[in-house]
A and B are shown apart, each in its own frame.
Chain A
Amino acid sequence: MNRRFRSVALAVGARSIHNVFTNPALILPSVIFPLFFFAAFAGGLARVGDIPGFGYKPGYTAFQFAFVLIQSSAFGGVFTGFGIARDFEMGFGRRLLLAAPNRQAILAGYMIAALVRAAFTMLVVTVVALVAGADLSGGGVDLFGLYGLAVLVNLGAALWAAGVALRVRSIQGGPLMQVPVFLLLFLAPVYVPLDFLTGWIHAVATVNPFTALLGAGRDLIDGDAGTLGVAIAIAAGLIAVFGVWALRSMRRAEAAGA
């Protein structure tokens, strides 16, 4: 990484982080929504963990914690896309393109902001889960793997949303960034393990990449790292695909004069 790349990436990242953390309207939804889902699922559906054969040792609160952690990291990435769209809608993106000697570094800066944002949300969600009695019984290395997985999901979602934002260059593109991620998340085994799903949703969940990510996260909480390799390969694949998508979108924004 050369100095020019680093200085642009850090400047864009610092600005985005400052914008998010000094504006409650931007940071609160990304923190409150995961907590709200956690409360609704872990609280309202706790008896689902008693279904015969459910068999998840750390318990239903921990089962839902894995989902909420992955979900909050994905949405941390999507919300960063909203910020990119806003910057380009207001003309700031155009000034960035004119000023930055390395335009890929602009994207890297936004990714840094996405990671910081997700890290903050994950910290809050983890504290709340521990207070709520989630049994995160996996060892330190396993839990490190869980957070690493969440970071990869965050990067993948942020690159997807950045690609949409750079093509649409308007906050009107928000649903286009959000809805596919929302659908993928909720078409995974959110409430019960994959084996408990039947019919069309089982078929969809089986081929949904989030199923493997979620399953690996839950296994890690349970102290089993056996499925982590597949999950990392899927997450890395998503990052590669959406990385190309975001870079091509950046070129399109440049060509359009942003």
Chain B
Amino acid sequence: MSSFAHAGLLVRRSVIRTLRQPANLVFSFMFPLLLLAVSSGGLNAATRIPGFPTSSYLTFALAVPFIQGALFAANSAGTNFAEDIESGFLSRLSLTPLSRSALLTGQLAGVVALGLLQAVVFLAVGEAAGAGFAAGIAGLPVLFALSILITLGFGTLGALAALRTGSGEAVQGMFPLFFVLLFLSSSSLPRNLMSIDWFHTVATYNPVSYLLEAVRSLLITGWDGEALALGFGCAGAIAVAGVYLCSRALRTRMVRT
């Protein structure tokens, strides 16, 4: 059996396992949409601030569920991986000729599928509620590609936490840290409208700001090359670093096994 076939089996298992857990789906879809509803209703008055980029806070805030969804997906990926470690499934896999890259690909496939599904649902709900999508039809594949890359990036961080700790509880414990990254970014206001210096500095160094701004550019501006380059660059860098670190952690874990 080739590496592709090996990976294919794990991909299928990962996708089915992710999408079959109602708790995963409820938290990954409902919670971001609920927060979107609350913030778009509660902060609509913020569009009256001079220089706010759009007259609809819903359109502005619609970028946030894409990142929140990715954070939930990271949690899901990490928890699933940790379960495999705790239950001994990874130990059994290590006795097979399966390559590390096939194993990692297989484990993360579920999270990528979830990321794509989330992007479709969030966009559909947002548009149904009246949000804009300035990039038009041609922007859809770009938005979905970016969403998948962001989900993959955070998914690798969740998997890394699982591989380093081997504990689902530890992965869950890391979840609030991811949320801190989201809240200390340009999630609620554009960076140029932040008047508190330290917050502006933190948001500027926080890569999540650039992920949000890339998604937001497609929704509000249309085509903003700089925002998209920074967004894809940050998401790609997180994914590449995450895959590299996961691969190393997996090697250590399998040697230990």
Contact = CB atoms under 8 A, between A and B. Distances in A.
Interface in A35-64: 36-37, 39-40, 42-48, 50-52
Nearest to B52: A47
B241 interface: no
B131 to A, nearest CB: 14
A189 B42 contact: yes
B199 A43 contact: yes
Contact of B196 (A46, A51, A52, A192): A46
Given A191-B43, A198-B44, A44 B203 contact: yes
Interface string B45-63: 1101100000000000000
Nearest to A199: B41
A177 interface: no
A187 interface: yes
Contact of B42 (A39, A42, A183, A201): A201
Given A44-B189, A47-B193, A47-B194, A39 B184 contact: yes
B96 interface: no
A192 B49 contact: no
Contacts of A190: 38, 42
Q: Most chain-B CB neighbours within 10 Å: which of A36, A37, A43, A52?
A: A43
B48 A51 contact: yes
Contacts of B189: 44-45, 47-48
Contacts of A48: 43, 45-46, 49, 189
A186 interface: yes
Contact of B41 (A37, A47, A200): A200
Interface residues on B, range: 20 to 34
Contacts of A42: 196
Nearest to A32: B176
A200 B34 CA distance: 13
A189 B42 CA distance: 7
Contacts of B44: 196-199
Nearest to A33: B176
Given A39-B184, A51-B46, A51-B49, A44 B196 contact: yes
B205 interface: no
Contact of B198 (A43, A197, A200, A202): A43
A45 B38 contact: no
B247 interface: no
Nearest to B197: A43
A52 B48 contact: yes
Contacts of A186: 35, 38, 42
